[in-house]
């Protein structure tokens, strides 16, 4: 699949065609595309604009192999060119307990940007599972108050997954339950 | 501002130009645009595809006034055509504790879709503030295991806020802290 950075997707199409991609081509991701994804992530809204996030770009093969040993659903990272570990930064907290929402919005922006420029990605969960969190702290040497939140695994897609409409009227209520 | 639904924004532009909009024109939002936002929300990824969310569309003026009395940062809803209350649905939980991430990703999709079709919106926080949550439960009659998570206030923008780049290299780390 070609680099789509200069003809990216329209917003609603991007939202509706983004799928979790777990198979990747054996091909590097250019630094400017990593920057595009991180920049999109950091444009997310956050509680009181606190931006309580940090990002660890993972390209080192040894780190990727270590991750596969501690997370049951991330074996594909061994063959992916890139992981991006999204962390909460409690030193930036203005509103207690909102940092996972900051990080989630950043992650969703990152995934949409990845899809928009022709990459494929999947959000794998870490927080709030204590044991999994401890292992990521250990692998990446995270200091106190930097919380491993979630890991995006990213690559050039080697699979195409059709989009399914998920809208259901059952989840919509009007003015009361 | 015109209805942009048939010429929406490109994904990266949408991500980079979305701002929190709190001033609105005195103008209704068509049902199909509400559907567009809800449909975008429901396309969000979720833990194990659990989709642990519910949405309450708030157009009733009395409900809006009640909200202004219980939330310190939502006075603008009294003059907004629309609120969308995003709730967690614990009955759908497959992975304990991930539902706020599901709801955050849905909320971010909703905000981007709103901006993409020419509306302005702002995410106001409810969860995890217990007192605020109790009041939303009461106003909307939410049953057990339906958790008020966050409220999007939406309208036709009566303000234009320039975008500021938020990328900072200080938040980027490579393979270790």
At residue A72, does pLDDT exceed 90?
A: no
Whether residue A146 is contained in a domain is answered as yes
For residue B98, the chain A residue with the least C-alpha distance is A128
ipTM for the predicted complex: 0.96
**pTM (2 d.p.):** 0.96
- List the beta bridge partners of residue B122: B153
Burial status of residue A21 (CB atoms within 10 A of its CB: 0-12, 13-18, 19 or more): buried
**Is the confidence at residue B84, as pLDDT, over 60?**
yes
Element (H, E) at A13: helix A11-17
By CA distance, what is A171's nearest residue in B?
Answer: B54
Inter-chain touch B16–A40, beta carbons under 8 Å = yes
Nearest CA in chain B to A67: B175
Q: Is residue B17, in this structure, part of any structural domain at all? A: no
Max Cα-Cα span within chain B:
53
Reference B157, options B20, B13, B9; nearest CA is: B20
Q: Which of A2-11, A101-110, A139-148, B68-77 has the lowest mean pLDDT?
A: A2-11
Q: Is A29 domain-assigned? A: no
CATH number at residue B106: 3.40.109.10
How far is residue A174's CA from residue B56's CA, in Å, rounded to a whole number?
A: 5
As a whole number of angstroms, the distance between CA B22 and CA B157 comes to 8
Domain assignment of residue B171, yes or no: no
Tell me if residue A62 falls in helix, strand or coil: helix
CB < 8 Å to B89, chain A: 171
For residue B115, give how far its alpha carbon lies from the nearest alpha carbon of chain A (Å).
9
The range of the structural domain enclosing residue A127 comes to 38-157
pLDDT over 60 at B1, yes or no: no
Q: What is the pLDDT of residue B113?
A: 97
The angle, 0 to 180 degrees and rounded to 10, between the axes of the packed helices B130-140 and B61-70 is 160
Distance in Å, alpha carbon of A124 to nearest chain B alpha carbon:
8
Determine, yes or no, domain membership for B6.
no
Q: Looking at the domain assignment, is residue B167 inside a domain?
A: no
DSSP B157: B
End-to-end C-alpha distance for chain B, whole angstroms: 45
Confidence of residue A3 (pLDDT cuts 50, 70, 90): very low
Structure confidence at residue A1 (pLDDT): 37
d(CA A97, CA A74): 27
Domain-embedded: residue B145: yes
pLDDT of residue A53: 98
Question: Which letter, b or e, does each residue of A51-67 get, where b requires 16 or more Cβ atoms within 10 Å of its Cβ?
Answer: bbbbbbbbbeeebbebb
Tens-digit pLDDT profile for residues B5-19: 456 799 999 999 999
Domains in chain B: how many in total?
1
CB B108 within 8 A of CB B50: no
pLDDT at residue B3 in the model:
46
Q: Looking at the domain assignment, is residue A166 inside a domain?
A: no
What H or E segment, with its residue span, contains residue B104?
helix B99-116
Q: Cα–Cα distance between B44 and B107 in angstroms, integer?
A: 9
Question: Do the chains contact at B116 and A176, CB–CB below 8 Å?
Answer: no
The predicted pLDDT at position A8 comes to: 78
Mean pLDDT of chain B: 95
Please tell me the distance in Å from A175's CA to the nearest CA on chain B.
5
């Amino acid at each position: 699949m070609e680099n789509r950075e200069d003809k990216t997707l329209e917003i609603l199409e991007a939202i509706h065609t983004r799928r979790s991609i777990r198979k990747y081509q054996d091909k590097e991701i250019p630094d400017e595309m990593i920057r595009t994804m991180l920049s999109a992530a950091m444009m997310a809204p956050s509680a009181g604009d606190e931006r309580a996030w940090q990002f660890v770009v993972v390209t080192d093969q040894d780190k990727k192999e270590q991750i596969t040993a501690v997370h049951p659903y991330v074996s594909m990272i061994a063959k992916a060119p890139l992981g991006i570990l999204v962390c909460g930064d409690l030193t930036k907290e203005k509103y207690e307990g909102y940092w996972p929402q900051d990080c989630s919005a950043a992650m969703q922006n990152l995934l949409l940007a990845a899809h928009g420029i022709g990459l494929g990605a999947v959000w794998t969960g870490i927080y709030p599972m204590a044991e999994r969190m401890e292992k990521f702290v250990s692998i990446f040497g995270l200091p106190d108050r930097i919380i491993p939140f979630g890991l995006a695994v990213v690559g050039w897609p080697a699979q195409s997954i059709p989009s399914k409409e998920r809208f259901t009227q059952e989840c919509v209520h009007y003015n009361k339950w």
